[in-house]
């Protein structure tokens, strides 16, 4: 009889454990559903619009709204081709709330060291995202990022990917041979800073996407593959598919410098 009672007790504990696991899993998923719903209205596409272009609207990357709702953060390299083609006048921010031609935006500040840029929207504003303190981010934390992985192909409907912060490490490491170091990398060797490595795949177009805690929705970083890979993987003959992000504290520093208190 005692053995039967013990077996029943063990079985009840097992059922309770499964129930608690499923409940916590569902709660986490429910939280993410709400977070994504709150994040998407603040995510925008960065591009150009000109009646002389074919197509008229062109996509270059992702951005997200900060501050009072009239400012947008993106990667500096997202703007590089627009500036190279002398199309800054045609710079536009696209969002489902705007018309097909998007909203005019101006470049307010650029930080080439951290590959960040701050834009200002003309005559429009969107809900800004809350910014975390990236010094409080730990390896293993669950994150998500939302952006436009393949541009306008799927319409103005941002896509979300999830994962964890798999590593926090310097943007560039010293090379055993100075011959392997390019001149443009010396600045980063003299003044290195940490970046986040993420185990979720980002695609072309995701540059500038906000990375956020999946349970709270506070932004901890900005997706960046092109710029970081050039430094982080400069010794590799073939780059990896690893995704990186610039910590959000560099965005906060750019905002303080450009906008003040």
Beta bridge partners of 91: 48
Mean local confidence (pLDDT), 140-151: 94
pLDDT digits (tens, 9 = 90+) for 164-198: 999 999 987 655 444 555 555 546 556 789 999 99
Higher-confidence residue of 231 and 16: namely 231
Mean local confidence (pLDDT), 3-21: 49
Average pLDDT taken over every residue of the chain? 84
The pLDDT assigned to 131 comes to 98
The pLDDT assigned to 155 comes to 77
Interior angle at CA 9, CA 8 and CA 12, nearest 5: 85
The pLDDT assigned to 177 comes to 45
Question: In this model, does residue 209 exceed pLDDT 60?
Answer: yes
Mean local confidence (pLDDT), 154-161: 88
Where do we find the tokens 């906060």? Answer: 252
Residues of the chain with pLDDT > 90: what percent?
Answer: 64
The pLDDT assigned to 57 comes to 93
CB 205 within 8 A of CB 59: yes
Contacts of residue 1, Cβ cutoff 8 Å, sequence gap at least 6: none
Question: In this model, does residue 107 exceed pLDDT 90?
Answer: yes
The torsion angles phi and psi of 118, rounded to 5 degrees, stand at -115, 125
């Amino acid at each position: 009889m005692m053995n039967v009672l013990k077996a029943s007790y063990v079985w009840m504990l097992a059922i309770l454990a499964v129930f608690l696991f499923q409940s916590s899993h569902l709660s986490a998923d429910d939280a993410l559903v709400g977070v994504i719903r709150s994040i998407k209205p603040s995510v925008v596409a960065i591009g150009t619009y000109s009646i002389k272009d074919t197509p008229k609207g062109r996509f270059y990357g992702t951005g997200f709204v900060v501050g009072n709702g009239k400012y947008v953060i993106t990667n500096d390299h997202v703007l590089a081709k627009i500036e190279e083609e002398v199309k800054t006048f045609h710079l536009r921010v696209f969002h489902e709330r705007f018309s097909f031609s998007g909203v005019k935006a101006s470049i307010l500040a650029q930080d080439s060291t951290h590959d960040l840029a701050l834009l200002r929207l003309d005559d429009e504003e969107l809900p800004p995202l809350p910014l975390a303190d990236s010094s409080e981010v730990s390896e293993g934390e669950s994150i998500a990022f939302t952006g436009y992985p393949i541009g306008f192909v799927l319409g103005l409907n941002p896509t979300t990917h999830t994962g964890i912060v798999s590593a926090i490490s310097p943007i560039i490491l010293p090379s055993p041979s100075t011959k392997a170091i390019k001149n443009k990398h010396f600045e980063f060797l003299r003044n290195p800073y940490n970046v986040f490595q993420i185990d979720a795949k980002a695609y072309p177009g995701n540059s500038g996407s906000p990375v956020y805690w999946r349970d709270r929705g506070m932004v901890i970083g900005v997706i960046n593959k092109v710029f970081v890979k050039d430094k982080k993987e400069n010794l590799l003959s073939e780059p990896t598919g690893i995704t990186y992000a610039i910590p959000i504290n560099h965005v906060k520093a750019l905002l303080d410098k450009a906008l003040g208190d």
